[in-house]
Structure 1
Amino acid sequence: MESKASGRYHDLDWIKVVLMFIVFLYHCSMFFNSFEWHIKNNKINHTYIEFFSLLTGNWIMPVFFVISGIATYHALKRRNGLIFVKERLLRLGIPLILGIFLLSPLQVYIERVTNNQFKGSFLEFFPHYFDGLYLEIGGRGNFAFFGHHLWYLLMLLLFSVILLPFFLKTINKAGQKEFSIFHFLLIPIPLSAAALIVNGFVNLASWGIIFYLLLFCFGFYFFARESLREFVRKIGLFAGAMSVLGTTSYIIWVMLYGFPVDVSLSWAIFMMIRVSLVWNMIFFILYLGGKYLSFSNKILNYTSEASMPFYVLHQPIIILLGFIIYNLEWPLHVKLIFLVTIAITIIGCLHHFLIRRFNFLRILFGLKELKRENIHSEIVEIGKL
């Protein structure tokens, strides 16, 4: 499962690439479903598109935070705290700033125009982008200080800096003890507490930041253990079955009764189902990755690097394309195909022909700088096109 040459777990790299594509499809689905989002199609789909949104929306970001915790553990094993913070600021902070000041204004503008909250051109709107803090869809504030969909970068940056002293102090203990069924059953207890007690404390992608903070810590302290990978092999199929059961229960509940709003016994049961779903899905995804994706090739090398630019660009482009087609009387499936294929094409071309070839753009999108010999090979490659 581990590359002896590079010391990397290729299955985790594959998982990040696959999940990034699922995030892209999820945000495409948000344009068509009945859930609140920045821009909506003129006709809503309550069947297969909404089903896909419910199927994936619960566990995508939690898995990312677990994997980020694992990556943090391995990063701190190879570098000191100062270098780690510097890398985090460059790789996460610069794309976040790009999103806040260049990519988010257009998204807020489109939301305001399509919701009849503003009339005029984008240039007329831009000075108003700094009027108040953007806190929710449809709210009055415009300044998206968290970069809209880039809130993950902000949370990861804050978690990394805040927890760094604890991580440096405990890194020699983390990842060594055996992971057992005791941990598997015990760890969901604080997750459930976070979901039930403090889930309302700044919700992002339907989970509270305390929930994400715990998953990030668990990724560092528990999921980085070698014994967990062996445990995953044993419990993976069981976790998969529990994931199917939890997902089925969750989707049926939402379709029949909707989302519980008021705190009650039914709300608590609903949240417990969601926590169980996420916890088991994490193990099931790690199981599938370890069994089928423990290899590297040119596709992984390319897509793994492209993941950050893809993540930074995907939502602004989806929203812009949605703004172009949302009132057109095209069949829904035609709009869906158009949105997915054109967005991927635009992002792919921007990354392949621009971002990956120039160091200034690479830094803006959170990539490492190219060395001189690599720059020369890129220039030669461009000349062959």
Structure 2
Amino acid sequence: MGVEGRGERLWFLDWLRVIAVFGVFVFHTLRPFDDGDWHVKNAQTSEGISVAIAFLGLWGLAFFFMISGSAAWLALRWRSALEFLRERSLRLLVPFFVAYVLLSPLQYFIEEHHKGRSTASFFGDVRTFFSDLAGDAPLWLRDTYHLWFLVYLIQFAVLGLPVFLLLRGRTDWIARRCQRRGSILLLAVPLVPIHLLLLAAPGPEHGWGEFVFFFDFFVVGYLVMSDARLLAAVRRDAVPGLILGVGAFVLGVVTGIIDFLDGWWPNPGYSWPYVWYSPLITLAVWGWLVAVLGFGLRAPALQRPLPPRLARAAMPYFIIHQPVILALAYFIVTWHTNLWLKYAALLPTAFAISALLAWFLSSTPVVSQLFGVKRPTPTG
């Protein structure tokens, strides 16, 4: 179903959400073959794939959160604060717990056996998994795997609500200063010192620094949608945004950001290279977000309704895709052939199986709601 306002449907947001889900899928199919650590790894890795991972990782998830913030604005146009929180709970909290209970133990079993840390049976590893679920904040649970995205979104909905209510009717000052060409890109400026201060804060993977980083873009997604002048500015500045995104990313690659991230990302901390790369990351991410959202607003193909089956399958597809990738990669990485043949087998097979499972989950009564599918309304 389309993202709705008051009597209007902004179909481009639905299309961008589906494109973002597919982007996350491609990102995860590449992870067995890049230079970084992951749940299942191939013996041979690729520097080119590592660059692609750095590129997608810089802005892809931030774009996902920005789209979610935009959808929050549309939901709050015709829901009360309590209705908004109830709807977020049904669409996020319920599928998170269902998926965590059903799918995280499977991913734990695959990873532990692939890395040689366990020789237990599946049910033995399941018992081990559930023996201690406590995790570090802000995820609160351990081994959430790709479901950390939903944990963030649940908390963003709660923390963002008072911010959203505060912003209502108070965007005129910002909107008036974004009327000149390229000026929407200046919204990244106040984010630079925040990210510089917090992104390198010590802590676990998906810690508070990353939490704030993505929360900022979640709020910006709401902000942009809340004023027609800001949305028009994004549409107008798609090309300058692309130039900023490409330029900042290329500058980062030329000055060694790939090697920096390989060593820094697992153990973040402050350093002089970080002082250089952190602003580049923020600028590159914001540039790409403006570009993709702006071109999404412009593209005629994205202004038409999303096929209902595709819309309904988006959340189940996101939930199911990584366990499918891990299960297939567990066997594929053991093949005695080159990396690219392995990837050529993994990508289409994982896509087909994930699509089939997502269609089944989204089409089955009751089960579909457990996996985050919106209940059909009388108007369709």
What TM-score bracket applies, with the shorter chain setting the length?
0.7 to 0.9
Q: Which moved more, 1:306-315 or 1:341-350?
A: 341-350
Q: What is the aligned length?
A: 364
> Which of these residues, 343, 354, 369, is aligned with residue 347 of structure 1?
354
| Deviation by residue 1:116-161 (Cα, 9 ceiling, x = unmatched) | 211122111111002445769xxxxxx9547321111111111112
Matched, 1:227 2:235: no
| Deviation by residue 1:51-86 (Cα, 9 ceiling, x = unmatched) | 321221100111111111111111111111221111
Cα distance, 1:350–1:57 mapped onto 2, change above 3 Å? same
Instruction: Assess if the C-alpha contact under 8 Å between 1:179 and 1:222 holds in 2.
Output: no
Partner of 1:68: 68
> Which of these residues, 242, 245, 251, is aligned with residue 243 of structure 1?
245
Cα distance, 1:66–1:7 mapped onto 2, change above 3 Å? same
Q: What is the identity, as a one-letter code, of the residue corresponding to 1:37? A: W
Matched, 1:171 2:171: no
5 Å-filtered alignment, 1:1-385, equals 6-47=7-48, 49-133=49-133, 145=142, 147-174=144-171, 178=175, 180-181=177-178, 184=184, 186-199=186-199, 200=201, 203-204=205-206, 208-254=210-256, 257-259=259-261, 261=264, 262-292=269-299, 293-297=301-305, 299=307, 301-352=308-359, 354-370=360-376
Q: What is the identity, as a one-letter code, of the residue corresponding to 2:318? A: Y
Q: What is the identity, as a one-letter code, of the residue corresponding to 2:326? A: I
Instruction: Assess if the C-alpha contact under 8 Å between 2:184 and 2:237 holds in 1.
Output: no
Instruction: Assess if the C-alpha contact under 8 Å between 2:257 and 2:277 holds in 1.
Output: no
Distance in 1, Cα, partners of 2:258 & 2:296: 33
TM-score, length-scaled by structure 2: 0.86
SS in 1 for 2:8: coil
Distance in 2, Cα, partners of 1:256 & 1:208: 18
Distance in 2, Cα, partners of 1:275 & 1:184: 14
- Overall identity of the aligned pairs, in %: 26
Distance in 1, Cα, partners of 2:161 & 2:174: 21
Instruction: Assess if the C-alpha contact under 8 Å between 2:317 and 2:357 holds in 1.
Output: no
Q: Which moved more, 1:257-266 or 1:178-187?
A: 178-187
SS in 2 for 1:337: helix
TM-score, length-scaled by structure 1: 0.85
Instruction: Assess if the C-alpha contact under 8 Å between 2:156 and 2:215 holds in 1.
Output: yes
Q: Which moved more, 1:205-214 or 1:220-229?
A: 205-214
Instruction: Assess if the C-alpha contact under 8 Å between 1:61 and 1:205 holds in 2.
Output: no
Instruction: Assess if the C-alpha contact under 8 Å between 1:58 and 1:206 holds in 2.
Output: no
Q: What is the identity, as a one-letter code, of the residue corresponding to 2:289? A: I
Gaps of 5+ in 1: 137-142, 375-385
Instruction: Assess if the C-alpha contact under 8 Å between 2:6 and 2:78 holds in 1.
Output: no
Distance in 1, Cα, partners of 2:165 & 2:29: 39
Q: What is the identity, as a one-letter code, of the residue corresponding to 1:345? A: A
Cα distance, 1:8–1:256 mapped onto 2, change above 3 Å? closer
Distance in 2, Cα, partners of 1:5 & 1:160: 21
Aligned residues: CA RMSD: 2.9
C-alpha displacement at 1:4, in angstroms?
A: 9.4
